[in-house]
Amino acid sequence: MNRSSPARTRQAAAAPRRGRESATARMERAARIAARLAEAYPEASCSLDFASPFQLLVATILSAQCTDKRVNAVTGPLFTRWPTPEALAAARQRDLEAVIRSTGFFRAKARNILGCCQTLVDRHGGEVPGTLEELVKLPGVGRKTANVVLGSAFGMAAGVVVDTHVGRISRRLGLTRHTDAVRAERDLVKVVPRDHWIAFSHRLIEHGRGVCSARAPHCPGCPLEELCPRVGVVARRPRPGG
């Protein structure tokens, strides 16, 4: 008869199978996950370069389907040429497209940025509003962009930013089952302590880049190892002769 090792037994107890965990237990585990991430990545922060809420708003719109590194390379010249919402609202679309072309989907992004800046000028006196309700009414701004701006520019915990890394790892951790970002966020705000909402996303992103990759997560030694049910992770087969 095969017996499980003590380590595997403890791991199974700490990370119950998907669907067998009570709401209270999930909240307790999520709190422990948030605390572990804070210990592992105490300096994690927004990786987009910005000097004002306006700059972060535009940078976040540009970040859709694009790396933050590429966005940062583009926003320097962009804000030198158009430093304010008023200046950018008056830009010609073809000129803006030429500057942001390398970020992908540049025509749609240019339209959204111009429309967003025009709305800021017309309805908000050129200032970025500080509420979720007002932000999501701006062209090109959804909950993710609004949460990024509120959290990183205003320090307001209005929700949890769910990007590709955050959604993927949250599903792997068994904190949500949803691939839709809005539904995943609803699950996360129910279990992640509110005082971790802003940093939680930054820390998961860093964790995803360095440890919990999509195809080959480095589970041994992971700070979340005994808290993670590894949903969707396929065990590697040993190599012949290994």
Q: Which of 69, 144, 180, 195 is catalytic?
A: 144
What pLDDT is recorded for position 14? 46
Does the domain formed by 53-127 have CATH 1.10.340.30? yes
Domain borders along the chain are: 20-41+159-227, 53-127
Q: What is the DSSP letter of 130?
A: S
| CATH topology classification for 20-41+159-227 | Endonuclease Iii, domain 2 (1.10.1670)
Out of 95, 109, 137, 163, the active site residue is: 163
The residues, any chain, with a CB within 8 Å of residue 216's CB and separated by 6 or more, are none
Residues listed for the chain: 242
**Residue 131 CB neighbours (<10 A):** 13
143 vs 201: CA distance, rounded Å: 14
Q: Can you give the pLDDT at residue 4?
A: 41
Rounding to the nearest 10 degrees, give the CA dihedral for residues 197, 51, 41, 62. 70
Query: Given this model, what pLDDT does residue 20 score?
Result: 79
pTM of the model: 0.85
Our answer to whether residue 144 is catalytic in this structure is yes
Catalytic-residue membership of 163: yes
- What is the spatial distance between Cα 62 and Cα 22, in angstroms, rounded to a whole number? 39
d(Cα 140, Cα 41) in Å, to the nearest integer? 31
Q: Over the chain (242 residues), what is each successive 10-residue block's mean pLDDT?
A: 41 51 96 98 96 98 95 98 98 98 98 98 97 97 96 95 94 97 96 97 95 92 95 69 50
pLDDT of residue 117: 98
